[in-house]
Structure 1
């Protein structure tokens, strides 16, 4: 007799009930109104990313002095330090100059197009406030558009702009210590706080990006993201077709997703804090067809899922190294969308997660290397005092097979019924449990220390 038949029947029944319950919950009796025309007029035509930016024809606000006139009067290599006050945009900087707004300078875009474009390269923009860009996603209305190389954008306050800082075909720039927020919109209709597009070797450090949509790096290689703070956004950082980028020492709170690496290879995610990435798709770190990335020394706490791996590592012979991280108090500590080999999981601390490791389809992840991790549910001793468990740690899926095999049943995960089923399965299994992982040298004492 096949003992898996009762379990599959139970899985199917619970999956059907969960689908009905979730479908009813998702019915919206009061949909949001459709947004109409903002009435802001047509945005400025900045040209394609690889074309020279034309000089704007005039200011967007007639009641303010046009900042472009001050830029035009500043020679190459000069410093522009205007008097305190508000000035009108848009502005194109087409020569290497320093713009110092430390006297209390504000450039107002008038609600149309992009506020300021760094077109010439080798320029510096510092200690200034930029505000009130246009509202068009078609023209990528932003506060700062960086089009050339070797620029510095530092100590700039950016608010009420659709996109914050937008780098296009721009290399070797320094984006440091800026405060960036988007327009007040629903999450999906905001602009990106910081975007890199075909831009390499840039350094993004000590910025605060709050209430934007995403920070993205697409087709952009060898960039460094250091000591930034991201809050209340969708993706803290989203890499796509981007190689050898480094994310280090950042703090990401209350975002839907922390760092997502898609179709990319190389690089490292290390010594960051990820917290409260919650919601239906909440995760701290995610991989989609990614290869040769090291995840090391991070604190991943209070998230829907700590680390998700989907068809990764992708390239033959490549690896994902998950080392010395604290993965704690998440719903799922580490999730494998498929049982794919090439993961090296060692020296991590798994503690307080509802489920430490799950594999979709109720499969196992035994083809990966699990070594020297701390497990708070380890059932064993350390009789010789070497801080290594006397027996391997094995993690089985019992009733968890239901929601791993039928995602709709996750609605009932950790419910009294599921907990009772899990207890009965462990006491007297009526289906064969699935071995999820086997750690041959589990650490006996928890080595992790909180970073914040």
Structure 2
């Protein structure tokens, strides 16, 4: 590898790096703060590259940096570093270290943009960092089980991150955040991951918008957090015995708005949630549109469309401390004599059969049988099983424009 140096007017250098006898690390060692490394197209079998200077590292023609399935590649521990246009592949595994294609540690204002991270245990790993941006990267792996894999984008104890426009697939969790605050996650596609498309815990005041989570093993899980805003996302075709479009566990003071839950085993599952607004979402063609456990309090469902779901609402108790009001239910067969587009009689979205299957799951084999139809009709005449407080007093007669 030969190095070509060019001086700019501001006295920063542009250093061209070519495949050959030397290394990218060698170029970094010779560079100074503010310099730019132009890594030329080719194959670089390098690993454990340490960046402790303010550098711009740009690939020309997506040069391939191959860790040979034994090592990790970049570790960035300096502010304002930019890595763009590289293909980083074949990071190995280790029992002690979470090995990553790009690790950002104790740094600020780092940008990772338009890279390809292929078959790495962890793609981009951020720890104790702030104001970093991970933008428009392709992050893909082919792990077979979650024990031997890592996450596409993994963030721990960080704040003010921007994760935008990435395509993440085939990892354990596509996007994983723990102790991450005041961050924006938008316009990402996370699909085909072994466990969760998105998984975050103990991460407060974050906003997730315009993302698509599709065909993930267990869907999306949001746990032990407050101040969460999830808006304009797609939760699509997350199927399996323990799969959810979106699972909320111990979430408070949050908003779930303008999302689309389509074709999931369970669209939205809520456990021990408090003061969550579920507003103007589409629940369509799910097994269970929503499962709201009796441990949930103070949440409001309003202006949502429930269309083509096997069960619109399920719960595991008779006490309901949440509110349903002004939703559209395609199963509603009430009337509207005053023509104000609101039903004149309440709608009870919990069917007797959904209550039965919560207690006896194997009863699902009788779903759509004559027996279940008879049970539902009897319950309408003499309600005894379904929670009488779980009702929509103002069901909409027509589908709501979201």
Q: What is the TM-score with the length of structure 1 in the denominator?
A: 0.79
What's the counterpart of residue 9 of structure 2? Answer: none
Cα displacement (A) at 1:137: 4.8
Using a 3 Å threshold, how does the CA distance of structure 1 residues 204 and 418 change in structure 2: closer, same or farther?
A: farther
Distance of aligned partners of 1:345 and 1:189 in 2 relative to their CA distance in 1, 3 Å threshold: same
Q: Does residue 84 of structure 1 match 2:37?
A: no
Instruction: Give 1:394 deviation, angstroms.
Output: 2.3
Q: Give the match for residue 224 of structure 2.
A: 263
Task: String of CA shifts for 1:321-356, please: whole Å, max 9, x gaps.
Answer: 000000111010110222532111100011111000
Q: Distance in 2 between matches of 1:78 and 1:277?
A: 46
> Which of 301, 306, 325 is the equivalent residue of 1:371?
325
1:351 matched to 2:307: yes
Instruction: Choose which of 354, 360, 364 in structure 2 pairs with 1:400.
Output: 354
Gap regions ≥5 residues in structure 1 = 1-62, 314-318
Deviations 1:413-442 (A, max 9, x none): 625376356356448769644436211211
1:249 aligns with 2:210: yes
CA distance in 1 between counterparts of 2:35 and 2:363 reads 62
Q: Report the alpha carbon displacement of residue 90 of structure 1 after superposing the two structures with TM.
A: 2.3
Question: In the alignment, is the contact (CA less than 8 A) between 1:64 and 1:86 conserved in 2?
Answer: no
Question: Would the aligned equivalents of 1:66 and 1:89 in 2 still touch at CA under 8 Å?
Answer: no
* CA distance 1:396–1:287, shift in 2 (3 Å): closer
In structure 1, the partner of 2:392 is 439
User: 1:240, 1:261 within 8 Å by CA — same for their partners in 2?
Assistant: yes
Residue 332 of structure 1 aligns with which residue? 288
Alpha carbons 2:156, 2:179 under 8 Å: kept:
yes
SS at structure 2 position matched to 1:404:
helix
Describe the SS at the equivalent of 2:324. Answer: strand
Query: SS where residue 238 of structure 1 aligns?
Result: strand
* Aligned 8 A contact 2:314 2:355 in 1: no
Extract unaligned runs of 5+ from structure 2: 1-19
- Counterpart in 1 of 2:86? 128
**Other-structure match for 1:45:** none
Query: Secondary structure of 2:372's partner?
Result: helix
2:24 corresponding residue in structure 1:
67
Query: How many equivalent pairs are there?
Result: 380
* Match of residue 27 from structure 1: none
Per-residue deviation, 1:116: 0.8
**1:1-400 aligned within 5 A:** 65-87=22-44, 88-147=46-105, 148-214=107-173, 215-233=175-193, 234-313=195-274, 319-361=275-317, 363-365=318-320, 367-400=321-354
Contact 1:398 1:434 in 2 (8 A): no
Q: Which moved more, 1:266-275 or 1:409-418?
A: 409-418
Residue equivalent to 2:10: none
Q: Check the 8 A contact 1:402/1:409 in 2, yes or no.
A: no
Q: Kindly report the root-mean-square deviation, in angstroms, between the aligned alpha carbons of the 2 structures.
A: 2.2
CA shift in 2, pair 1:84/1:156, >3 Å: same
Residue 216 of structure 1 deviates from its aligned partner by: 0.9
Q: Distance in 2 between matches of 1:149 and 1:427?
A: 60
| Distance (whole Å) between structure 2 residues aligned to residue 250 and residue 444 of structure 1 | 30
Residue 389 and residue 81 in structure 1: after superposition, are their counterparts in 2 closer, same or farther (change >3 A)? same
In the TM superposition, what is the alpha-carbon distance from 1:448 to its structure 2 partner?
4.5
Q: TM-score, normalised to structure 2's length?
A: 0.89
- Which structure has greater strand proportion? 2
* Alpha-carbon shift at residue 389 of structure 1 (Å): 1.5
Change (3 A) 1:241 1:180: same
Instruction: Give the 3-state SS of the residue equivalent to 1:399 in structure 2.
Output: helix
Q: Post-superposition shift, 1:108?
A: 1.2
1:138 to partner: Cα distance: 2.6
Any idea what the Cα deviations from partners look like across 1:291-327, whole Å, max 9, x if unmatched? 01100000111001111111112xxxxx100000001
- Secondary structure of the residue aligned to 1:184 is coil
Task: Give distance in 1, aligned partners of 2:385 and 2:231.
Answer: 38
Q: Aligned equivalents of 1:212 and 1:96: distance in 2?
A: 30
